[in-house]
Amino acid sequence: MSKTTIAIIAAASAGAGAAITATMYSLRSQSERNLQTKTISTTTTTVSSAPAGASAPIPIPAKQIFANASQQAAETGLSTSAPAALGLAPVDPSGLFEYGFPGPVADIATRQALISSFDRRLRNPHWVVEHITPASLAMRGGDRKHSVFVEDDGVPDKFRARLKDYFRSGYDRGHQVPAADAKWSQAAMDETFFLTNMSPQVGEGFNRDYWAHFEDFCRGLTARYPSVRIVTGPLYLPKRDPADNKWYVRYEVIGNPPNVAVPTHFYKVIFAEDGAVGGNVAIGAFVLPNAPIPNEKPLTDFEVPVEAVERASGLEFASKLPAQRRRRLCADTSCALVIREYADRQKAFSKSRSPSPEPSNAIVKR
């Protein structure tokens, strides 16, 4: 999928999103107006000790106690069959929230080396944020051979991604924040193995190859920038069906029962800071397909405007960063991958569960 196609898809998504957003604000504004024009009574339920065997009365919300039609007409002077007048609506949809708010709810987890937002419906992160520095990468307090993948009990049981969902799925449990970025502490590294930091990723040719080189590129930015912040997450982008020339969003769902969505793409938005207070920030946004990518493919082929990622994901990344402080990352520094033989190292690691030697060959691909 080309950068132009991604931008078109993002623009289409923006149109739909704008309509939904307008509806939401319209409903919210109406609700706020209703709250301003009438007094809503509330019920406070007091729980007291009762003799054994006695059943406690079931509290009925005050909003659900309705007067009969003749009484309502006498009190308001309005016909119950006529449309509401004087700004008094005949219904109160917000009364449902007395029984619970439907959501959506984003499960936010704050760890030592990352902060994540989890999507309960797709059992994938919305985003995961990390911060790396030359000092953090120089420390060697953690080793991944001591870490294990774990389910996140901070997510309600029925919405949780599970280890068994990935078992024999054909996909890797792909870190969004790499374990290698948290070597400064064993505890911090262990926390990168929560499934709320994982998405199903193609292994051969992607997670163990091109994506790993991309992660190494991000670490390499600390040689030029004293502070690098990265947000990573999945995308579910449409693809044109040649049979009818229409666009469809199609993705696999793994698990039994099927629970965890397999993203079509992944994004990274990189903020490389110059270290000065109020200084410049070099921003780079990249969207990669969840598929094998030849190591010869230039990273710049996957560079997109930040706005394209925002429109495709429904997220915002730099709304508070003034334009005068922004720089384009790939114009400020070289966006080139250094290709290392990670796949062979990981195969050896999975067999021996012991540290493997450093890669012997490195090739720069621009």
Residue positions annotated with a catalytic role: 175
The helix/strand/coil state of 305 is coil
In contact, 151 and 160? CB cutoff 8 Å: yes
Query: Which amino acid belongs to residue 147?
Result: S
In contact, 274 and 326? CB cutoff 8 Å: no
**Packing angle of the helix pair 306-313, 3-37 (nearest 10 deg):** 60
For 93, 99, 102, 299, the CA distances from 96, given in Å and listed in that order, are: 6, 6, 9, 50
DSSP labels, 16-64: HHHHHHHHHHHHHHHHHHHHHHSPPP---PPP----TTPPPPPP--GGG
**Packing angle of the helix pair 211-220, 342-352 (nearest 10 deg):** 110
Contacts for 123 with CB less than 8 Å, ≥ 6 apart: 159, 160, 161, 165, 255, 259, 260, 261
Token pair of 161 as six digits: 């991604």
Q: Is the dihedral of CA 294, 297, 300, 306 positive or negative?
A: negative
